[in-house]
């Protein structure tokens, strides 16, 4: 009987609310969209891709140009003292392309071009040009009248040297006797001249000991130097610190 009463009493109570199942989720608030940031991110991606593409294209657009391998003096041709290098193409720079080397060899340097310089067209001209106030003087030097290691670009001094001979032995005004021969020398004709070119004919140097070269000097010194050179009375020496 008690069991039936309890059962009857429980039947009259309202049922407890059902609990949500484990698989159901609570609703989440909607995300706030930011279209400006999304557009900026897309723009940055496009800019980066464009920049990378331009770098690749520029790296691939290269040309072969001329570089000198030794110092070229004013008035000289590059000769065989050249090599080729690859550089980025740039229409604003007047590079001398490697295929133009034949034409370049017919031109002369306007001024000194130093070793490892990538040359440009404006560095050369059809005729050799000298700096203002300068003159180029050719010398044919006897053996012993020049340093054995002389080369283009050296700075030297030029002196007048010669031999004087008297016909008879005698005494000079100071009471010293002469022997009929001697060497006289004067002061420097040129204190600092640049060796412009040195003859490339090694056979002549070996056989005779003579050497031909040209010096770049001040115009005021050119006449005296040329006169002494014509008489074969010039010797040159390296200046200190050369």
The reported pLDDT for the residue numbered 192 is 86
Is the domain spanning 62-125 CATH 3.40.50.720? The answer is no
From start to end of the chain, where are the E strands? 62-68, 82-88, 108-109, 124-125, 134-141, 155-164, 182-198, 211-218, 234-238
Residues across the chain: 242
The reported pLDDT for the residue numbered 85 is 94
Tokens 């429980």 — which residue?
10
Q: Chain-wide mean pLDDT for the chain?
A: 77
Residue 7 pLDDT level (bands cut at 50, 70, 90): low
The reported pLDDT for the residue numbered 132 is 78
Tokens 């017919």 — which residue?
106
Q: Is the pLDDT of residue 88 over 60?
A: yes
Boundaries of every domain in the chain: 62-125, 134-166+181-238
* Rounded alpha-carbon distances, angstroms, from residue 174 to 98, 108, 170, 177, 186: 70, 56, 11, 9, 20
Q: Is the pLDDT of residue 182 over 70?
A: no
Q: Is the entire prediction scored with pTM above 0.85?
A: no
Q: Is the pLDDT of residue 78 over 80?
A: yes
């Amino acid at each position: 009987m008690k069991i039936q009463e309890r059962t009857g009493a429980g039947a009259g109570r309202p049922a407890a609310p059902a609990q949500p199942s484990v698989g159901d989720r609570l609703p989440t608030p909607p995300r706030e969209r930011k279209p400006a940031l999304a557009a900026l991110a897309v723009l940055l991606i496009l800019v980066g891709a464009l920049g990378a593409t331009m770098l690749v294209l520029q790296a691939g657009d290269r040309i072969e140009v001329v570089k000198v391998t030794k110092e070229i003096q004013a008035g000289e041709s590059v000769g065989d003292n050249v090599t080729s290098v690859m550089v980025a193409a740039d229409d604003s720079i007047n590079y001398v392309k490697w295929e133009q080397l034949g034409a370049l060899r017919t031109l002369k340097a306007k001024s000194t071009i130093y070793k490892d310089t990538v040359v440009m067209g404006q560095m050369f001209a059809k005729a050799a040009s000298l700096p203002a106030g300068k003159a180029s003087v050719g010398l044919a030097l006897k053996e012993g009248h020049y340093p054995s290691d002389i080369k283009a670009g050296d700075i030297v001094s030029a002196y007048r040297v010669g031999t004087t001979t008297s016909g008879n032995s005698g005494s000079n005004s100071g009471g010293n006797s002469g022997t009929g021969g001697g060497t006289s020398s004067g002061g420097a004709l040129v204190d600092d001249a640049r060796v412009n070119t040195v003859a490339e004919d090694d056979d002549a140097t070996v056989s005779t000991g003579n050497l031909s070269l040209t010096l770049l000097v001040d115009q005021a010194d050119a006449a005296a130097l040329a006169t002494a050179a014509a008489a074969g009375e010039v010797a040159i020496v390296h200046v200190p610190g050369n």
